[in-house]
């Protein structure tokens, strides 16, 4: 009887050892497979500054997590949205929610917000004139011509007493909503990337933060006036990761957003852009 019990115990030990050994082999295989696995590619459209620069900083962090970030740089806002909607690219980092909503409504696209990353204060910058006290009748001010950014520019001009918009115009304001223009200022509407290039031809320009950076301008040092961090515009116009609707919770997209919202990237933004780019909290 004792021999039988010993035999059974021995058999159990051998079986358990076999399972343990198999488990260890499988675990080693799993670890090895993960180590040798190709990183998952994420393709993303971005404006050159600051978006692509921020993404370059995030790239090695994502690679450590198993994601290969491929950055495609665009100089306009329309094409990147189109290629993300078509599925050619995974995401776009260049626009804010009002622009995304406006684009979806106008173009029939289905793009969604996967997460907010930063905002860029709009500023009024010198052209031929260096201070708003120099403004004179008939002066020209250049502003971006796309729907949401034009409204933002007009609101900033209103905040500084240059024009007055009709009540309720808000974030949908256009030049047609100007109800008081005491100096008969001409508002020159241009494609956003072109505004900085006409500084030598107009009295003032109103620039998006990224285009100000590309022009070598700092909102803190060079602007005559700019949006405050607690303004409605700053809260509304946070730059986002835009993706095709239904992909907001893809693992790769969540990893991308988490890295871009990390303390390491927050510190990089604060140290690099001198207030022209502000991390979104």
Q: What is the pLDDT of residues 1-24, one digit of tens each?
A: 444 444 444 444 444 444 454 555
Q: What is the pLDDT of residues 164-178, one digit of tens each?
A: 999 998 888 999 999
Please give the average per-residue pLDDT across 113-128, as a whole number. 95
Q: What is the pLDDT of residue 14?
A: 43
Q: What is the pLDDT of residue 148?
A: 77
Please give the average per-residue pLDDT across 125-141, as a whole number. 98
Residue ending a domain, among 228, 246, 267, is: 228
Q: What is the pLDDT of residues 175-216, one digit of tens each?
A: 999 999 999 999 999 999 999 999 999 999 999 888 898 899
- % of the chain exceeding 90 in pLDDT: 71
Contact criterion met (CB below 8 Å) for 247 and 44: no
In a shared domain, residues 176 and 265: no
Whether residue 196 lies inside any domain: the answer is yes
Whether residue 253 lies inside any domain: the answer is yes
Within 10 angstroms of residue 137's Cβ, the number of other Cβ atoms is 9
Residue 262 has pLDDT above 50, yes or no: yes
In a shared domain, residues 49 and 69: yes
Please tell me the distance from the alpha carbon of residue 80 to that of residue 45, in angstroms, as a whole number. Answer: 6
Q: What is the pLDDT of residue 46?
A: 98
Please tell me the distance from the alpha carbon of residue 18 to that of residue 24, in angstroms, as a whole number. Answer: 10
118 or 37: which leads in pLDDT: 118
Residue 27 confidence class, pLDDT cut points 50, 70, 90: low
- % of the chain exceeding 70 in pLDDT: 86
127: CATH: 3.40.190.10
In a shared domain, residues 83 and 215: no
Q: What is the pLDDT of residue 210?
A: 82
In a shared domain, residues 111 and 244: yes
Q: What is the pLDDT of residue 4?
A: 47
Residue ending a domain, among 209, 228, 247, is: 228
Q: What is the pLDDT of residue 13?
A: 43
Whether residue 5 lies inside any domain: the answer is no
Residue 101 has pLDDT above 70, yes or no: yes
Query: If DSSP codes are grouped into helix, strand and coil, which group holds residue 43?
Result: strand
Query: If DSSP codes are grouped into helix, strand and coil, which group holds residue 116?
Result: strand
Whether residue 76 lies inside any domain: the answer is yes
In a shared domain, residues 86 and 180: no
Torsion sign (Cα): 179, 182, 188, 194: negative
Whether residue 197 lies inside any domain: the answer is yes
In a shared domain, residues 57 and 135: no
**How many domains in the chain?**
2
Whether residue 198 lies inside any domain: the answer is yes
Whether residue 29 lies inside any domain: the answer is no
- β-partners of residue 196 are none
In a shared domain, residues 221 and 146: yes
| Domain region containing 86 | 40-120+237-279
In a shared domain, residues 224 and 244: no
In a shared domain, residues 112 and 206: no
Whether residue 8 lies inside any domain: the answer is no
| Nearest by Cα to 134 from 121, 143, 124 | 124
Q: What is the pLDDT of residue 31?
A: 43
In a shared domain, residues 219 and 249: no
Token pair listed for 237: 């116009």
Please tell me the distance from the alpha carbon of residue 59 to that of residue 34, in angstroms, as a whole number. Answer: 19
């Amino acid at each position: 009887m004792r021999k039988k019990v010993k035999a059974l115990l021995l058999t159990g030990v051998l079986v358990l050892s076999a399972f343990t050994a198999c488990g260890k082999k499988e675990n080693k295989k799993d670890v090895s497979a993960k180590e040798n696995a190709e990183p998952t590619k994420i393709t993303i459209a971005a404006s050159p500054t600051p978006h692509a620069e921020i993404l370059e900083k995030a790239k090695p962090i994502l690679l450590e997590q198993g994601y290969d970030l491929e950055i495609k740089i665009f100089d306009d806002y329309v094409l990147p949205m189109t290629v993300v909607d078509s599925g050619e690219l995974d995401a776009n980092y260049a626009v804010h929610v009002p622009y995304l909503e406006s684009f979806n409504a106008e173009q029939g696209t289905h793009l969604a917000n996967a997460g907010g990353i930063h905002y860029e204060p709009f500023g009024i910058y010198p052209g031929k004139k260096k201070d708003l006290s120099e403004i004179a009748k008939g002066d020209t001010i250049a502003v971006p011509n796309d729907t949401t950014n034009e409204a933002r520019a007009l609101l900033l001009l209103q905040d500084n007493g240059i024009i007055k918009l009709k009540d309720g115009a808000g974030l949908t304001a256009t030049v047609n909503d100007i109800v008081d223009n005491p100096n008969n200022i001409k508002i020159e509407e241009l494609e956003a990337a072109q505004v900085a290039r006409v500084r030598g031809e107009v009295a003032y320009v109103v620039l998006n933060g990224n285009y100000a950076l590309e022009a070598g301008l700092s909102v803190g040092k060079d602007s005559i006036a700019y949006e405050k961090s607690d303004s409605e515009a700053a809260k509304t116009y946070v730059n986002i990761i835009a993706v095709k609707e239904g992909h907001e919770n893809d693992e790769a997209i969540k990893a991308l957003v988490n890295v871009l919202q990390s303390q390491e990237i927050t510190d990089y933004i604060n140290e690099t852009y001198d207030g022209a780019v502000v991390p979104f909290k």
